[in-house]
Each structure stands twice: as C-alpha cells, then as structure tokens.
Structure 1
Amino acid sequence: MRRFWLGLLLVIIVGVFYSWLNAPEWLAGWNEEHQQMVEQQREAGIATGRQTDQQGCVSEVLQRVESCKESEYRCTVSGGTFFKACWENSQPSPGICNTTPPYHEAATEDDKAWVKDRCTELGLRASGCRLIMRQQQQLCGTEQ
C-alpha cells in the first residue's frame, strides 16, 4: 500500500512540474484566442448596430447569451463586448432608458431587484441576462 502512495505522489509531482513548464505557452495561446474572440464580437456588434436600434441590440444580445453553448465566462464576455459595440453603433430607441434605474458602481438592493425582475419578466436564465441588464444600466447612464 505504501508503494501505491509513493507512486501516486511521484505522478502528481511530475504532473505539476510538467504543467508548470507549459503554463506560459498555454497562457499565451489562451490570451491570443481570447483577444480574437473579443475582436470578432466587437465587429459583429458594430455590424449589427448599424442595422438596428438600441432595443434591437438588447434583444439580439439576450438571444445570443441565452443560446450560447460555451463556458459562462466566454458567453458573458462575448455578449458584453457585442452589446456595447452594438449599442454604440445603433440608432436610439426612444424611451429605452426611461425604466432603467441609474447605474451604481456597487449594485444596490434596488439595482439587484430590477435586474432580477427584468430577467424574470423576459423569462431568461439569470447569469447572462443579469450581466446584460447591468450593462444596459451603465450604457443608459452614460447617455443622460
């Protein structure tokens, strides 16, 4: 039994050492892939924004985030990037910000309740929708 544990310990040590040696290459590859994804989403957001209004951007990004099959991190980052680029390049939607509460850096209880209620009202999953609703708060706040 002792031999088993020593062997297992040796395998773990070799695995950690191997991972440590390859970490910089992995990180560089991940960073490059991440930057490409962000740029693609930004370009897609710009193109969509030129063809729609702000409400169209909200609808499109919520659909994208909701149907995303990637990791939650990747879905929310790509959705947020797409949304900001779309919003900034779209036509204004009269009244879209009228029911959006003011943005606070640290979300207040009222902010959290509005986001939760809005996502529930839309019948959408919490994680991606909540990020987009917070981003809408922020974008509406910059227009006022």
Structure 2
Amino acid sequence: MRKKIWIGIAFLVLLLVVLVKLLGPGWLERFNTERQQEAQEARQSGLAFGQQADQMQCLNQALTDFTSCSGSGCTIKQGVFLKACWENASQTEGFCEDVPAFEEKPNEEAKEWAKHSCWARNIPGEGCRLLMRQRQQLCTQSD
C-alpha cells in the first residue's frame, strides 16, 4: 500500500515538472500580463459607459455581462468595470435604499440581502454576491 502511494506521489511530481517545462519559464509572467491587460480594458470600458449612465445602469450592465462569462476572472473583470463605471455615473435616486452597510466581514443580514438580490435577477453564484458587496461598499462610502 505504501509503495503505491509513493509511486503516485513520484508520478505527480514528474507530471508537475513536465508541465512546468512545457509551459515555459515565462508562463506566469504572460498570464499576469494578460490579466492586467483585461483589467485595464474593463476599467476603460467602465469609465466610458459611466459617462452616459447612472449607478443602476452600471450595475445592470456589469451583471448582464457577468451572466455571459464564468470563473473568478469574470467576477474580477466585472468588478473593475463596475467600480470604474460608478466613477463617472450619475446618481440613481434610491440606489442605496435598503442596502445594508458594508462591513469587512459580512453579517447574516448582508449575506441574505446579496443572495436575494442575485436570486431576484436569476443570477446564481458567488460572483454576483461579490458584485452586490461592491454596491454595499459604494453606498456605505457615500453616506
């Protein structure tokens, strides 16, 4: 039994070494550069959209775009878009009504609010809730 475990571990280490060799030494640098480029593009897009939008339109656009992609990269990209959009957007009357105050560690009320806000839009998943937390943060900062 132990011999099989060690053979498995050796195989995984060998596989890892082969993958690192195949990907090349600059793969992490390329990956980071691509993510930075995507973030910059999302920011520029958000700034431009926000010039002709209000806060709610920014949120709606970010959530619409969010539903057409997946993964943590998507959430980050839409979060960057949203924050940039709000920089230029006009205020939406009532945008912060009934939005719980932002806290670093969300309480149950905030978690429930975010969850139900996403469910009401038929958007499942943690990414939507993270975007809703950005709304909480914006509303708390503007109080």
TM-score bracket, shorter-length normalisation: 0.7 to 0.9
Q: 2:76: which partner in 1?
A: 77
Residue 119 of structure 2 is matched in structure 1 by: 120
Q: Distance in 2 between matches of 1:25 and 1:142?
A: 40
Which structure 1 residue ranges, 5 or more long, are not aligned?
1-5
Count of paired positions: 138
Task: Give 1:82 deviation, angstroms.
Answer: 0.2
What amino acid does structure 1 have at the position aligned with 2:120? E
Tell me which residue corresponds to 1:135. Answer: 134
Alpha-carbon distance between aligned partners in 2 of 1:122 and 1:37, rounded to the nearest angstrom: 26
Q: Using the alignment, how far apart are the partners of 1:65 and 1:10 within structure 2?
A: 39
How far apart, in 2, do the equivalents of 1:118 and 1:124 lie?
Answer: 9
TM-score (norm: length of structure 1) = 0.85
Q: Kindly tell me: are residues 126 and 22 of structure 1, through their superposed partners in 2, closer, same or farther at Cα, counting changes over 3 Å?
A: closer
**2:111 corresponds to 1:109:** no
Q: Determine the C-alpha separation between the residues in 1 that align with 2:15 and 2:120.
A: 52
1:133 Cα deviation from its structure 2 partner: 0.6
List aligned pairs for 1:89-104, cutoff 5 A: 89-104=88-103
Closer, same or farther: CA 11–80 of 1 in aligned 2, 3 Å: closer
More helix by share: 1
Match of 2:98, SS? Answer: coil
Residues of 1 paired with 2:115 and 2:48: CA distance? 29
Taking structure 2 as the reference length, the TM-score comes to 0.85
Q: Which residue of 2 aligns with 1:53?
A: 54
Q: Percent identity?
A: 38
From the superposition, tell whether residues 97 and 13 of structure 1 become closer, same or farther in structure 2 (CA, over 3 Å): same
C-alpha separation in 2, matches of 1:28 and 1:83:
26
Distance 1:72 1:22, change over 3 A: closer
